[in-house]
Structures are given as C-alpha cells and as structure tokens.
Structure 1
Amino acid sequence: MLHVPASHGMTLPLPHLYERVARHVPPMEWEIISGDIQAILDLKRRRNAILLAHNYQSPEIFHTVADIVGDSLALAREAAATDADVILLAGVHFMAETAKVLNPDKVVLIPDEKAGCSLAESIRPEDVLALKAKYPGVPVVTYVNTSAAVKAVSDVCCTSGNAKKVVEALGVPRVIMIPDEYLARNIAAQTDVEIISWHGRCEVHERFTPMDIAEIRDIYPDVTVIAHPECPPDVVAASDFSGSTAEMVGFVADKRPARVALVTECSMGDNVAVHYPEIDFVKPCNLCPHMKRITLSNIRRALETMGPEVTVDPALLPGARLSVERMLAIR
C-alpha cells in the first residue's frame, strides 16, 4: 500500500486519493476509512461493478470510490450505457430503481434500502391515474424523483436540469408535472406552457426561505447565491442563478465567483469545492437524511454480500422504461 508523509508526521494510505479530500477529511479519519476504500476498489474490480454516486454524496464517497458522479440525469444516462455486470447506486432508492429499469438483466445494488425520498413518497400510481382522469389527454411529465410504479403510468420523465426542455418538447399547451410543486412552479415561470402541479416537496429544499438568502447577503455582500429549482419560488427569485446540481457546477466553473452559496444539500458544496480551492464556499445548506444513509462501510458490505439487490416488478418495466427513454432522447 502506498504511503505519503502527512503534515503532522503521520503516513497516510492511498495518498493519491487523500489529496482529493484533504480539505474535508482529517488525517485521523482517513486512517480509519481508507481500509473500506481499498476494499471497495478491490471488490469493484472483482465484481466488474460500476459505482454511480449522486452529487449529494459525501466527499469521501464522491471523490474516492465513485466511477461516475453527477445529477440524476447524468446517472440515468450512464446507467443506460454501462457494460458493467453490477451497478451500485450511491444515492437514494428511486435512482437505483431507474438504473434497474434501464438494466433489467443486471444486478443493481443499493447500500441501504431505507435511503428514500420525500418526493417519491408524495405520490402513488393511483394519484397519477386520477390526474389523468381529471385532465384527459394532458400528458404527464414525471420528475425522476419517483418510484418505478409512478413512472410506469406517466408519459415522460424529466430532471431538474431538463424539465423545461421536456415540457416544451411535447408541443402541447398544457402538461401535468409531478410531483414537485416548487419545481413545477419555477418551470411554469419560464415557459408559456400551462403546468398543472402536484403538492409534493423536497424536505431538503422546502426549508430554505428568502430570509436565509438575505442573511447570507448581509454577512457576505459579495456572495453569488445559486439555488436549486426544488426551492420555493421566492427563494429562487432572491438568488442570482437557479439550476440543477449539474447546472450549479457549470455555473461555478464558468463564472468562477470569488464567493458562492449553493442553496441545496450540504455535500454539494463540499464536492464542488474540491475542484475550486480558490473559491470561498459558504454553507446555507441542509442535509438530506436519506443520502447520508449511504456510507463507505455499507457500500463495502453491499459489494461483499451482493445485496440489498434492487428489483422492479416486470409488469412495470415497459412503461417505466419508455418514460425514462423518452426523457433520454430529448437533448
């Protein structure tokens, strides 16, 4: 095992990986977690496994063991293209379900089956069918933050990064957009298409308020505020830019603000900061309790035991896959 001298006199394992997370992981903690990291790297090779990690995963996962990182759209695209035998999703359950929908013959693992999502839990297939009955002929645009069962009775999926494009690509005057109420309202403000929304909300983003933004600006007058579109519309209006996690990364990379506040899940700022040490990231963030159920130790255990394995009812696969593939076809 490779070692490198640390500033405090210790030698640290896996120095090429520690360099990526040194700002966020103390040397003593690295000594503890590096065994799991090495084991995960070895297990991935043995299993021909690919590890997909969402932007909200903590830096020690995101920057050391993940093969592909990104937002829900990026992970869906990679899941559709991979030739790995095993897909491990370091994220929440609906993401792993989406990977399984796109790869029904592959083994898809999630380290903790309880890693859920308030949006996915806010709507059921029967709710979608009731909306279709109430608004006959109006297409249903379903956020990927939903179960496979909901996707199966929808027309097309979207992410926060491509929602406007998906809505307008349908070429209709009105759509049903579920389940995130705030995302729907924020997209409605950007398009002439009438949007019928649902009352689901993200438990991370719904807690942000305009007062939070005002307080950040009082403390840091030069701050650039970037909000996720799952935030309430008045929070988005008080920000300088709003976009998906991938669009947040793109904005930072392009504009290089001296100081930035990412109004989203806490690990997002940590992961972006690794690439831009010259930028001051202030943290008006909230933790996602579901994302934080994923750890190095349970990733290792999942690869060791090949479980928990994610399954999808075969009867749901055709409809769910069609909804996702329609989204992926829209560029």
Structure 2
Amino acid sequence: MTNDCISMSMDLPLAPNPRGKIVPKVFSEQQLEEEAIRLSEVIRQPKRWTVEHCKTIAPYTLEINQLKKEKDVYLIAHSYQTPDIVYGVADEVSDSYSLSKSARDAEQQIILFSSVRFMAETAKILSPDKLVLHPSPEAGCSLSESITAQDVRDLREKYPGVPVACYINTTAEVKAEVDVCVTSSNYLKICENLPGNKLIFVPDKFMGEHLQNSLRGKKEVIIYDGVCEVHALFTGEKVLSWKERAKNIGIDLQVLSHPECAADVLEESDIIGSSEVLIKESIRLGQEGMTDIMLITECGTADRVMAETKQKLNIMGTCVMCRHMKATLLEDILQALREPRAEQIIELDQKIIEKAKFSLDEMFRYAEL
C-alpha cells in the first residue's frame, strides 16, 4: 500500500542528511537501489523520504546491519528516533518500559542504545556485564538534567519515611537514591500500590500533577518542578483551539496526549498514555473510522503511526521535535559500531549500579503485580 492513504495536516521537517564525517563502505548499485526501495516502503512517507534520498543513506544502513551481525550487537531505539534508524537498523523500537525489559533480557553481549543518555545508562544498570554503547554522548534530557541525587536526599530529609518514586527520565545517580522507578506506561499503577498514604514523585511536575488528580482522596503526592522541554510547549488553550477549529468544519478530532503534558492539555485529551499506547490507539481509532487525530507528543510518534497504520489518517497539529532525541544520525551509529570512542561506552560506578538496579527491579515487580 502506498502512502496516498495518509493525509497530513502536520508539517514535518525534511528528512535529515548525513553530515559526511563518516564515509560508509562501497556497495553495488543494485544493493543501494534495493535498500533504498526497502527504506522508502517501510517508512511510508515517499514525499519526505524519497527513494533518491533513501539511496543516500542506504550505504549507512547496509553497513550498520552488516556490523550488527558480525559483532552480535542488539540495537535498540526509542520511538522518537528518526525513521531511518527506527525502520532501517533498529532491532527493537518501543517506549522506555519495554526497552528497559529488552535491555535486561537481551542475549547479545553488546547493546547499542540509539536514544538519550539516561536510557543507555538504564541498559547498563540492568546489564552491568554487557558492553553498552551510546552513539551520541551529547544527547541529554531536560527532565534528567532537572534533578540531582542531592535533590532527592534533601527531599528524603524533609519528608522522612515517605517513599520516593522517580520517572525513568533520570540519571543513574538519581535512580540510586529512590525506592522505585516508573515509566509513562506504569506510573499510575505503581504509585497507587506503593505503601502508605503519601509519596514523593520526581522529577516531572506535569506527570506529578496528573498523579495528584488521579490519586486524590487516596494518597498525597509531593511533586518536584522538572519538565520535559518538548511536552511543556503544548498548552490546553492551543489544544482547545484545534478542537474548536476542527469542529467548525465538521471534524471529530481525537486528541491523544503523553502524560508529560500539563494538566490543562490532559483535560482536553481523549486518550492519555505512553508513546506505545498513543501509537496503538491511533491505529485502533483509524480502524474504527475515527481518522482525524492529533498527537500531543514528540512528532517521532507521528512517524511511527504513519509507517504502521493501514488506514487513511489525517494527523493534525504541530510537529515538536526533541533536539536530544534527534541528535543521533546513522553515521553516529556506524562510527560507534566500527570503533566506539571512550565517551560512547557507558561506564557507571558499581555501587551506583547496585542501588539503581534495586529501584528498577522494584519497577518490574510492581508493574507485573
């Protein structure tokens, strides 16, 4: 099926070009043509990811996939990575919780995590004996950078005995100071099941406010002041404006939002959930004839919906990209696979690993109750 079934009201940026700092191997014209067609067909955005453009990146995907086999590397990518990574070279693509489990359970002894730093650290915590590569050391996270281990210790001193739950978007050092980690797919379930009638939630203020509303009358939730710089850009006023404009032209707009958004955004949303939930629900809505949707999250989610739906969808809204997630290009992955630099190899203090692993193990335990 061609991409003619996708009608887009969301403007997406041009497909990224290689920087040209890493020269890939030489492949035959036939190999390049076949790979370019494969990439264009699986990405399913032929106007943005033309066969000609895919031909320029084909040498990178071909060599990366060769090196993965030769070196027995498991390549994991978050949904916010660009489509050439997600559909060109990744062995698994998902949200934080699923990728954490994949990192823990992978048979391969080398894991390359195409994502931001805290995710690669999480893989190292869960697989301390494996070599974990992070191709873009500069790719951080505004949430992760909003809180330190000392901040958590200060909160513990201020609220002695109160359990501390942290969003997985945090450093290894922060994870080592808390009782349990959570992700956007399990934070409600885990926090509701924590002992006592009070909890501290860090660092995401908006997710914390959603917890406060959801657990009102059951638990007091003490929150921190961190935000995701991407999701903080969305406002309830903007969402309401889109809904009213759609209604005026006879469109029943379905709004799907990530819980890192502010409370006024979530109030205007029909579905709230992790990246994977938003993707699955978008596809389900299309299958049920509700084809006008708006995704309130990083627009890599829209890339995945377009690639994976079989329905005609009209995806509306504004594309907001995470500069950290989009820092990684195919050539970064290729370079890390060929000969990783020291800063691309995740190294953590053993004591930090042991303490942080406890909070992650608790996440798995609570999530699977």
Q: 124-133 vs 162-171, which deviates more?
A: 162-171
Contact conserved, 1:91 with 1:291, CA < 8 A, in 2? Answer: yes
Structure 1: gaps of 5 or more residues = 5-9
Q: Is the 8 A contact 1:216 1:284 kept in 2?
A: no
TM-score in terms of structure 1 length: 0.94
Identity %: 35
Whether the aligned pair in 2 keeps the contact of 1:2 and 1:14 (CA below 8 Å) is no
Aligned to 1:128: 152
Match of 1:175 in 2: 199
How far did residue 92 of structure 1 move? 0.3
1:246 positional shift:
1.6
Contact 1:213–1:238 (CA under 8 A) maintained in structure 2: yes
74-83 or 279-288, larger mean C-alpha shift: 279-288
Distance across 1 between alignment mates of 2:74 and 2:40: 21
**What is the CA–CA distance in structure 2 between the aligned matches of 1:230 and 1:153, rounded to whole Å?**
22
Q: How many residues align?
A: 326
Give the equivalent residue in structure 1 for 2:308: 275
Aligned to 1:57: 81
Q: Is the 8 A contact 2:36 2:54 kept in 1?
A: no
8 Å CA contact 1:57, 1:91 repeated in 2:
yes
| Structure 2 partner of 1:7 | none
The question of 1:324 aligning with 2:346 is answered: no
Code of the aligned partner of 1:125: A
Cross-structure match for 2:131: 107
Aligned to 2:222, which of 196, 199, 219? 196
8 Å CA contact retained: 2:181, 2:360: yes
What are the equivalent positions in structure 2 for 1:1-331 lying under 5 Å apart? 3=30, 11-23=33-45, 24-191=48-215, 192-221=218-247, 222-256=252-286, 257-276=290-309, 277-307=311-341, 308-330=344-366, 331=368
Q: Residue 214 of structure 2 aligns to a residue in which SS? A: coil
Q: Give the TM-score of the pair, scaled to structure 2.
A: 0.85
Is the 1:181–1:199 contact (alpha carbons within 8 Å) kept by the matching residues of 2?
yes
Q: Equivalent residue of 1:274, what SS?
A: helix
Structure 1 residues 14 and 85 mapped into 2: Cα distance closer, same or farther (>3 Å)?
farther
- C-alpha change, 1:302 and 1:283, in structure 2 (3 Å) is farther
Per the TM alignment, residue 253 of structure 1 is displaced from its structure 2 partner at its CA by: 3.2
Contact 2:39/2:54 (CA < 8 Å) preserved in 1?
no
Look up the SS of the partner of 1:326 in the other structure: helix
SS of equivalent to 1:104: coil
| One-letter identity of the residue aligned with 1:195 | V
Question: What does the per-residue CA deviation read over 1:221-270, in whole Å, with 9 as the maximum and x for residues that have no partner?
Answer: 32211111111100110111111112112322333231111101011111
* Aligned residues: CA RMSD: 1.7
The CA deviation string for residues 137-159 of structure 1, in whole angstroms up to 9 with x for no partner, is: 00000110000000001100000
Q: CA deviation at 1:2?
A: 8.7
Preserved contact between residue 47 and residue 85 of structure 1 (Cα < 8 Å): no
Q: Match for 2:297: what amino acid?
A: T
Residues in 2 aligned to 1:44 and 1:13: alpha-carbon distance in whole angstroms: 16
Name whichever of 81-90 and 212-221 sits farther off. 212-221
Q: 1:195 to 1:268 in 2, by over 3 A?
A: same
C-alpha separation between the residues in 1 aligned to 2:185 and 2:193? 14
Equivalent-residue separation in structure 1 for 2:246 and 2:64 (angstroms): 40
Code of the residue aligned with 1:59 in structure 2: it is: P
Deviation readout 1:178-233 (Å, 9 max, x if unpaired): 00000011122112221100000000001111222123224433221111111110
Query: Helix, strand or coil for the counterpart of 1:13?
Result: helix
Counterpart of 2:16 in structure 1 is none
- Is 239-248 or 133-142 further displaced after alignment? 239-248
Q: Which amino acid letter does the alignment assign opposite residue 350 of structure 2?
A: P
State the alpha-carbon separation in 1 of the partners of residues 354 and 346 from structure 2: 17
- SS class of match (1:116): coil
Distance of 1:328 and 1:116 partners within structure 2: 24
Displacement of 1:170 after TM fit?
1.3
Return 5+ residue gaps in structure 2 as ranges: 1-27
